[in-house]
Amino acid sequence: MHNKTIAELARGLRSGEFSSVELTRIFLDRITQHQNLNAFVTVTPDQALAQAEAADKRLAEGSSGLLTGIPIAQKDIFCTDGVKTSCGSKMLDNFIAPYDATVVTKFNEAGAVMLGKLNMDEFAMGSSNETSYYGPVLNPWDTKTVPGGSSGGSAAAVAARLVPGVTGTDTGGSIRQPAALCGITGLKPTYGRVSRYGMIAYASSLDQGGPMTRTAEDAAMLLQTMAGFDEKDSTSVDKPVPDYLASINQKLEGLTIGLPKEFFGEGLDAGIAAIIETAVEEYRRLGATVKEVSMPNLKYAIPAYYIIAPAECSANLSRFDGVRFGYRCENPSDLTDLYTRSRGEAFGKEVKRRILIGTYALSAGYYDAYYLKAQKVRRLISEDFKKALSEVDVIMGPVTPSTAFGLGEKTGDPIQMYLSDIYTIAINLAGLPAISIPAGFLNAMPVGLQIIGQYFAEDRLLNVAHQYQQVTDWHQRSPKGFE
Amino acid sequence: MSLTADDVKKIAHLARLGINPQDEGNYAQDLSGILDLMVQMGSLDTSEVLPMAHPMDQSQRLRPDKVTEHNQREKFQAIAPQVEEGLYLVPKVIE
């Protein structure tokens, strides 16, 4: 049962083959059985079973939707009314959210069953899930390696079949990189497509929530529920949501794929390059044509990102002051001591690093040299993409320069860790949608293929990904011990 | 670009962020390394480029000046570290 896709489970529920309660119990059991992965921060069995009962009623009445009765889980960055929302931080270890994020509301309205909240890097700052206050998540393909981050719990849970579909968020690659390292499908939508209301902010001009599933078809089903304009998010874009499943079966004849030469240079593992080339070859067989494109400013993406994201993070995280919610230090001597010690005791090292960088970059005398410069570079990178996407339909390339690295391997060197985001960060700066899909294995570890599309062309990306998944079976492989 | 432990102390104060004195040197080193990455951007001429704040260059949406939120003081204060009679408590600010 746990190997079925969301599309298959939805059919089974509607035909009465099994109930949502049965399904929910199976996945809750698997979560307990594989606790060692540390994928969940909070499991909500009582609430899940109540939701499942309600879903079964809706299914019996015939008032069900696409996701009614389907078990899902939320990254612990989405506020859930009455349920602890930690964001992977000691700062919010005692935080019971007083309201639901819009994404959570939408899943609830759809009748989906939330099994719990997923582990993540602290405040989504990290590429390995090792900055979480709740400890690292293990990659089910090799438990000595990281699952990637920041949506590491999300990716590991789907890969280990603990839940068929989950949410993630992506500020610099946090959906696509863990999806690639865990061998699942992860979509980062266009900036503004999915509401950020109730999604705890890291870098507001880059953050975007999206689905993580095993197949593109399942991702389409989740995105259908998640996407849409939201008055409560001032950066939400008011544009109709297409029917993502309607175009998924379109053939790919005539599709033009751009390969940026900058994606295949120094630093990319030769084994990964070969797997990407094989995947592109498969697309040629499906009727696509391929041409080289160039994005000369891509090399500036990491410096621009590591100014813009920390600058926005330093502003966003100033709300955690120990006064109205979250952690407060013992016996503060005065107000400054209360702020300084509460923040100092409750934030982890990586969060502190980024707050410091951001504070420095925004401080008097440095704003023009760092933040403003980075925002100008951001436009140049975005124009590179615009130009490339005027010549081709989609851009393809690797998601990560290597497969999953070892636990602890990069924690001592923040810059090495930052460089592992090299192929994903530029897409966030431009605000474009991109999907990571399983494309093969290198030394028994999964490798992802990244497909980048035009603004709001999620339908096209899902179509291109789905067609590949019709002729390959990488997305169906399960890690040993989790079959 | 090289920052000292003293610089870190100043930045940490601006951010009201407690840092262990023995970690200041490490942070100075990390931050200097990160700022060195930024130097690469200097070689790009951006004098004619407009800064980009929103991918679609969308400006902030305005809404009618109407009350949309209702008061949920009790619910919000239930998760506060310290409250009394509906007020958030902090250490004495004025002697």
Residues 6+ apart with CB under 8 A from A29: none
Assess contact for A102 and A144: CB atoms under 8 A.
Answer: no
pLDDT of B77: 96
Residue A41 has, within 13 A of its CA and on its CB side, a CA count of: 33
pLDDT of B40: 87
pLDDT beyond 90 at A38: yes
Name the residue in chain A with its Cα closest to that of B23: A349
Instruction: State the DSSP string of A267-278.
Output: TS-HHHHHHHHH
For residue range A283-313, what is the model confidence (pLDDT) as tens digits? 999 999 999 999 999 999 999 999 999 999 9
Q: Which residue has the higher pLDDT, A254 or B92?
A: A254
Put simply, the answer to whether B37 touches A415 (Cβ < 8 Å) is yes
Q: Which residue has the higher pLDDT, A223 or A418?
A: A223
Determine the Cα–Cα distance for residues B49 and B53; give it in Å rounded to an integer.
12
pLDDT band at A414 (very low <50, low <70, confident <90, very high): confident
pLDDT of A281: 98
pLDDT band at A403 (very low <50, low <70, confident <90, very high): very high
Q: Decide if A174 is catalytic.
A: yes
ipTM score: 0.95
pLDDT beyond 90 at B61: no
Q: Which residue in the list A86, A174, A314, A342 is annotated as catalytic?
A: A174
pLDDT beyond 90 at A72: yes
Beta strands in A25-112 (DSSP E): 40-43, 71-75
For residue range A149-161, what is the model confidence (pLDDT) as tens digits? 999 999 999 999 9
Q: Decide if A15 is catalytic.
A: no
- Cα–Cα nearest to A6, from A215, A242, A189: A215
Name the residue in chain A with its Cα closest to that of B83: A324
pLDDT beyond 90 at B57: no
Judge: domain A6-255+391-476, CATH 3.90.1300.10: yes
Residue A478 token pair:
């399960």
DSSP state of A372: I
Residues of B whose CB is below 8 A from A189: none
Q: What does the pLDDT average to over A100-114? A: 98
Name the residue in chain B with its Cα closest to that of A234: B61
Assess contact for A398 and A263: CB atoms under 8 A.
Answer: yes
pLDDT of B32: 94
Q: Which residue has the higher pLDDT, A9 or B64?
A: A9
Cβ-nearest to A325 among B3, B31, B79: B79
- Cα–Cα nearest to A153, from A183, A187, A190, A128: A128
Average pLDDT over chain B, rounded to an integer = 91
pLDDT of A266: 84
For residue range A167-194, what is the model confidence (pLDDT) as tens digits? 999 999 999 999 999 999 999 999 999 9
- Cα–Cα nearest to A435, from A417, A403, A402, A460: A460
Q: Which residue has the higher pLDDT, A8 or B93?
A: A8
Q: Decide if A127 is catalytic.
A: no
Put simply, the answer to whether A418 touches B81 (Cβ < 8 Å) is no
Put simply, the answer to whether A328 touches B91 (Cβ < 8 Å) is no
Q: What does the pLDDT average to over A115-119? A: 98
pLDDT band at A240 (very low <50, low <70, confident <90, very high): very high
Domain with CATH 3.90.1300.10 in chain A: 6-255+391-476
pLDDT beyond 90 at B94: no
pLDDT beyond 80 at B95: no
Cβ-nearest to A343 among B18, B39, B42: B18
DSSP state of B41: G
pLDDT of A334: 95
Residue A450 token pair:
């990244």
Assess contact for B1 and B38: CB atoms under 8 A.
Answer: yes
Q: Which residue in the list A19, A20, A64, A75 is annotated as catalytic?
A: A75
Average pLDDT over chain A, rounded to an integer = 97
Put simply, the answer to whether B55 touches A192 (Cβ < 8 Å) is yes
